[in-house]
Amino acid sequence: MENNGNVQETVKPDVDGNVQEAEKPSENKKPQHNNQNRNNNNQNRNNNNKNNNSSKPNQNRNKGGGRGRRRQSTPVDENLKKFVAINAEAHKQRLNPHYKLDLNSKAKIRITPLGGLGEIGGNITVFETENEAILIDVGMSFPDEDMHGVDILVPDFTYIREIKDKIKAVIITHSHEDHIGAMPYLFKEMQFPIYASPLPLAMIGNKFDEHHIKEARRHFNPVVKRKIYEIGNDFKVEWMHMTHSIIDSSSLAITTDAGTVIHTGDFKIDHSPVDGYTADLHRLAYYGEKGVLALLSDSTNSYNPLPTPSELTVAPAMDRVFAKAEGRVIMSTFSSNIHRVQQAIQYGVKYGRKICVIGRSMERNIEIAMQYDYVKFPKSIFIEPDQIAHMSDKDVLIVTTGSQGEPSSALFRMSIGEHRHVKIKPTDLIVLSSRAIPGNEGSISGMLNHLQRAGATISREKDIHVSGHASIPEQKLMIRLVNPKFFLPVHGEYNHVMAHKETGMMCGVPERNIHIMNDGDTIEVAPKYMRKVKSVRTGKTYIDNQNNHKIDDDIVIDRQKLASDGIVMIVAQIDGQHSKMLSKPVVTTFGLVADKQDKYFAKEMEDVLEHFLINIKEGLVENTRALENDLRQVVRKHIYRKMKKYPLIVPTVFVQ
Ligand SMILES: [Zn+2]
């Protein structure tokens, strides 16, 4: 039992000296890190106590256990014991980010997400010092099904307008739509220097051209990874290469007087990426060693316990699928996943096929990737869509958009026989190399029905797609490399972020050093504390893609009412002097009552109107607008009572 006592004594400083107690000893109960160590100790004790057949090692020790047996204890080498303690101290210093920060600093940084939390997409975050600010990413998101006629959502820029003069730059992590898609909408209103690696800038440039703000390209500042850029007086930013489902992605190290904050952007850790450019783990570790104030990390896949496979792992599946194809192969994936497209093209070429790229975003992205030498293919392997008809089916690979079943996409149009150059044949093999984005399952299934009706074979094997986001093991690696004092899980719905919080605690971040942010929360972070200081306005602006114009909120609300509850129009003529109807009102409804009940409903409305006129407030008839408003209220109440519906009500009253 003396040995047990020794184990307990030597490990104890490690336990006590950890992250939490350095700051507030009283709260040293919750943190996982300590618990983990304690568990280990318990395990040790249990093991050592096995011979005693004791299930309660603590009690045993307290009572001076080991009574049942005498044995000679091994002499303790005091010098060795000293080194155990010294090592424990070294671990404490190594593991505790608290000791690595400048605790005398009064500096602080404020972090405000304006989108991207409680939702997938629409990422935009403000980093602010006393006098300056930077924006990290300016992304868009997609509407819910009930936002009729809305194509995309752009974050509400109210807060950005408020602090416009403080903003020194827009910083971009990578070129997915949910990180750059709202750039043209922001830049039509206000412009700032844009810092990003080349591919995001090329993609943003295309957007600016489409939106007729070519001149905004003058704000481009291409960056070199691993170089530190001074932005304004307060910010130093380094782009660190990251692997993700789009090439040229980055994590950011943002250093201010308060310390360094690491923002991962979207990431997975791919040790064998297609282009060989692995995630820059060395730089992350460098900052981790130096001391990191806070980590903001991607939560998208925080439920997945298995590591996300490398992009390269889709190659064998592609080879298998392409090898057995007898007719044309039509491959669809996210057009931004250049490495996926590149691999498909390689296997197409391997099996002697020519490549036809169809779909606007696919054509544009491959063009950019080739123009800027991210991928290299001889021009001779490509054919135009009108050449397909003149070639043998076995010689054709079509790479196209539509993996989400979008009705305007090339693959969808092929599936319903409306594509100009490609009609689906029974010998066609359709390869869907993607997963369904939540909400798109219905449209994908619909498209698959059409494709199969046309006789095509569908291949959507699991191993022909891999995710671009970190699973739990990679999230753990990120936390351990960066070793932050404070942890802010980002990118994802509430439940994703909460799962990521658990992972953070498992990796030694005390619970009170983790904050679950909501859009609009301003979090102040300083070496000694992190707290929410205020909330700012957030929301979404609705955009109609046909003309790139904003749709006002009330229009969308009206459309929702029309779609779910219909419309009632009431036209009435009133004798102003006697508050009486001059004739029967004309009542028209759409989407509320069935045609055969129209007459009955019209009579009901007539009664409501009559009753309304009998009880009318004095003077109301002189003000037609107020009269119509009041009438609308009365009708609304009546319809809700009887039908539990809120239709759009349009009263028109003529007073004579
Ligand atoms: Zn992304």
3 state SS for 475-530: HHHHHHHHCEEEEEEECECHHHHHHHHHHHHHCCCCHHHECCCCCCEEEEEECCEE
Give whole-number Cα distances, 482 to 94, 295, 450, in Å: 12, 7, 49
Q: How far is the CA of 66 from the centre of ligand 1 (A)?
A: 59
Give whole-number Cα distances, 456 to 2, 348, 351, 414, 432, in Å: 75, 18, 20, 11, 13
Q: How far is the CA of 335 from the centre of ligand 1 (A)?
A: 13
Q: How far is the CA of 120 from the centre of ligand 1 (A)?
A: 10
> How far is residue 138's CA from residue 595's CA, in Å, rounded to a whole number?
49
Q: How far is the CA of 469 from the centre of ligand 1 (A)?
A: 8
Q: What is the mean pLDDT of residues 190-201?
A: 97
Q: How far is the CA of 604 from the centre of ligand 1 (A)?
A: 56
Q: How far is the CA of 346 from the centre of ligand 1 (A)?
A: 24
Q: How far is the CA of 484 from the centre of ligand 1 (A)?
A: 23
Q: Which tokens sit at 92?
A: 């404490």
Q: How far is the CA of 579 from the centre of ligand 1 (A)?
A: 64
Q: How far is the CA of 266 from the centre of ligand 1 (A)?
A: 5
Q: How far is the CA of 429 from the centre of ligand 1 (A)?
A: 29
Cα dihedral value 221, 223, 229, 235, nearest 10: 70
CB burial readout 531-561, b (16+ within 10 A) else e? eeeeebebebbbbeeeeeeebeeeebeebeb
Q: How far is the CA of 62 from the centre of ligand 1 (A)?
A: 56
Q: What is the mean pLDDT of residues 148-154?
A: 79
Q: How far is the CA of 636 from the centre of ligand 1 (A)?
A: 46
Q: How far is the CA of 181 from the centre of ligand 1 (A)?
A: 11
Report residue 355: phi and psi, to 5°.
-110, 130
More confident of the two residues 39 and 292: 292
> How far is residue 35's CA from residue 44's CA, in Å, rounded to a whole number?
14
| Model confidence pLDDT, tens digit, residues 77-123 | 999 999 999 999 999 999 999 889 999 999 999 999 999 888 778 99
Q: How far is the CA of 447 from the centre of ligand 1 (A)?
A: 25
How confident is the prediction for the chain on average, in pLDDT? 86
Q: How far is the CA of 173 from the centre of ligand 1 (A)?
A: 9
Residue 120 and residue 492 in contact, taking contact as beta carbons nearer than 8 Å: yes
Classify 8 as helix, strand or coil: helix
Q: How far is the CA of 544 from the centre of ligand 1 (A)?
A: 23
pLDDT for res 485: 97
Q: How far is the CA of 409 from the centre of ligand 1 (A)?
A: 21
- In 194-352 the beta strands, taken as DSSP E runs, fall at 194-196, 220-222, 228-231, 235-242, 249-256, 259-263, 292-298, 329-332
pLDDT for res 32: 42
Question: Which residue type is seen at 511?
Answer: E
Q: What is the mean pLDDT of residues 176-196?
A: 96
Q: How would DSSP label each residue in 604-631?
A: HHHHHHHHHHHTPPTTGGG-HHHHHHHH
> How far is residue 572's CA from residue 651's CA, in Å, rounded to a whole number?
8
Q: How far is the CA of 249 from the centre of ligand 1 (A)?
A: 8
Q: How far is the CA of 562 from the centre of ligand 1 (A)?
A: 36
Answer whether residue 291 shows pLDDT above 80.
yes
Residues linked to residue 587 through DSSP beta bridges, in sequence order: 570
Q: How far is the CA of 287 from the centre of ligand 1 (A)?
A: 23
Q: How far is the CA of 246 from the centre of ligand 1 (A)?
A: 7
Residue 300 and residue 490 in contact, taking contact as beta carbons nearer than 8 Å: no
Answer whether residue 606 shows pLDDT above 90.
no
Q: How far is the CA of 264 from the centre of ligand 1 (A)?
A: 11
Q: Which tokens sit at 274?
A: 């297609």
Q: How far is the CA of 174 from the centre of ligand 1 (A)?
A: 7
Q: How far is the CA of 367 from the centre of ligand 1 (A)?
A: 20
Q: How far is the CA of 176 from the centre of ligand 1 (A)?
A: 5
Answer whether residue 12 shows pLDDT above 60.
no
Q: How far is the CA of 214 from the centre of ligand 1 (A)?
A: 25
| Model confidence pLDDT, tens digit, residues 399-434 | 999 999 988 899 999 999 999 999 999 999 999 999
Residue 257 and residue 282 in contact, taking contact as beta carbons nearer than 8 Å: no
As residues whose CB is below 5 A from the ion ligand 1, the structure lists 176, 266
Q: How far is the CA of 162 from the centre of ligand 1 (A)?
A: 28
Q: How far is the CA of 298 from the centre of ligand 1 (A)?
A: 10
> How far is residue 146's CA from residue 335's CA, in Å, rounded to a whole number?
26
Answer whether residue 242 shows pLDDT above 50.
yes
Q: How far is the CA of 177 from the centre of ligand 1 (A)?
A: 8
Q: How far is the CA of 526 from the centre of ligand 1 (A)?
A: 29
Q: How far is the CA of 245 from the centre of ligand 1 (A)?
A: 7
Q: How far is the CA of 651 from the centre of ligand 1 (A)?
A: 49
Q: How far is the CA of 491 from the centre of ligand 1 (A)?
A: 10
> How far is residue 390's CA from residue 300's CA, in Å, rounded to a whole number?
45
Q: How far is the CA of 389 from the centre of ligand 1 (A)?
A: 36
Q: Which of 8-22, 157-171, 462-476, 581-595 bottoms out in mean pLDDT, i.e. has the lowest?
A: 8-22
| Model confidence pLDDT, tens digit, residues 502-550 | 999 999 999 999 999 999 999 999 999 999 999 998 888 887 777 777 7
Q: Give the strands of the sheet with 152-155, arranged side by side.
A: 152-155, 540-544, 549-551
- Give the global pTM: 0.80
